[in-house]
Amino acid sequence: MGGARHGTAPPLSHRRRATGLLGGSFNPAHRAHRRITLAAIEALGLDEAWWLVSPGNPLKDGAPDMAPLSARIASARAMARRAPIRVTAIERRLGTRYTAETLEKLVRLYPDRRFIWLMGSDNLVQFHRWRDWRRIARTVPIAVIARPGYDGAAHATRAMGWLRRFVRPASQARNWTTWRPPALVLLRFRPDPGSATRLRAEDPLWFHAYHQQALRDPVTRRCID
C-alpha cells in the first residue's frame, strides 16, 4: 500500500477507522520502522497506520545528511510494501511544521477516523522539546514503543513526569479508542537493531537510487506534490 493521492490520506469512508500515525524523517526508512508499526497495528487493533514523512524536522534543521524528500518517500514506500501502511507527505500539503498543528488538522479533516500517535521511547526522551507537546497529548492518545537503551531515560524525562498520571495498562491497549486524551500506553515488542544512522554510515549516498526511482514513479511524485 503506497502513498495516497496528492500526499493525502485515503478518501473518507462512513466507518471510523482506527489509524496509527508514525511521524519521522525516514532518512531512510528501515525494517525497524516496519516491524514496530506492524507490531503496533496488532497490539492496538488498528485498521492501518500512516507514515508521515516529514518535509523537515524542526529538531534536525540543517542536518547535512538529510536526504531529499523524494528519496525518503521512495524508501518508505518500498519498506511499507504489502503491509497495511500508507506513506504520505501530508504535512507538506497542509503547510504544517509542528506535530501539534498536523494532528489538529488531521482530526478536523478526518472525523471518520480515530488517530493514535505512535512514537519510540527514544522520541519520548526529547518529547518535552517538541512544540506544544502537552497539546499533542491532549489531542490524541499516544502509544510509546520501547527501544533498546532508551527506556530508563524515557521514564525519567520531564514529559513523562507529566504524562505518568495518564498511563494506561498495556493489557488494555485495544481499548484505546475509548480513551479520552491525555492517554498513554507503553508497548514492548521484540527489539529490532535497525537504525537509519547506521544505514547512512554504511552508505552515505543511499538516497541516489531512491531519488531516481521517485522521478520515475508517478505515485511517489503525487505524494510530494
Q: What would the grid cell of residue 52 be?
A: 508521515
What sign does the dihedral 119-123-128-129 (CA atoms) show? negative
Which range of residues forms the domain containing residue 173?
Answer: 17-224
Residue 138 domain-assigned (yes or no) = yes
Residue 24 domain-assigned (yes or no) = yes
Question: Mean pLDDT throughout 14-30?
Answer: 90
Residue 45 domain-assigned (yes or no) = yes
Residue 80 domain-assigned (yes or no) = yes
Residue 3, pLDDT score: 41
Cβ–Cβ under 8 Å, residues 24 and 53: yes
Residue 194 pLDDT > 70: no
Over pLDDT 90: what percentage of the chain?
A: 60
Q: Estimate to the nearest angstrom the gap between the alpha carbon of 56 and the chain centroid.
A: 14
- Model confidence band, residue 167 (pLDDT cutoffs 50, 70, 90): very high
Residue 63 domain-assigned (yes or no) = yes
What does the pLDDT look like over 71-81, one tens digit per residue? 999 999 999 99
Residue 11 domain-assigned (yes or no) = no
CA atoms in the 13 A half-sphere facing the CB of 225: 11
User: What values do phi and psi take at 87, rounded to 5?
Assistant: -105, 130
Question: Mean pLDDT throughout 94-109?
Answer: 96
- H or E element: which one contains 219? helix 218-224
Residue 3 domain-assigned (yes or no) = no
Mean pLDDT of the chain: 84
Q: What are the residues whose beta carbons fall under 8 Å from the beta carbon of 174, sequence distance 6 or more? A: 43, 44, 45
Q: Total structural domains in the chain? A: 1
What does the pLDDT look like over 45-76, one tens digit per residue? 999 999 999 987 665 655 677 899 999 999 99
**Is pLDDT larger for residue 204 or for residue 202?**
204
Is residue 168 helix, strand or coil? strand
CATH number of the domain where residue 59 is located: 3.40.50.620
Residue 5, pLDDT score: 39
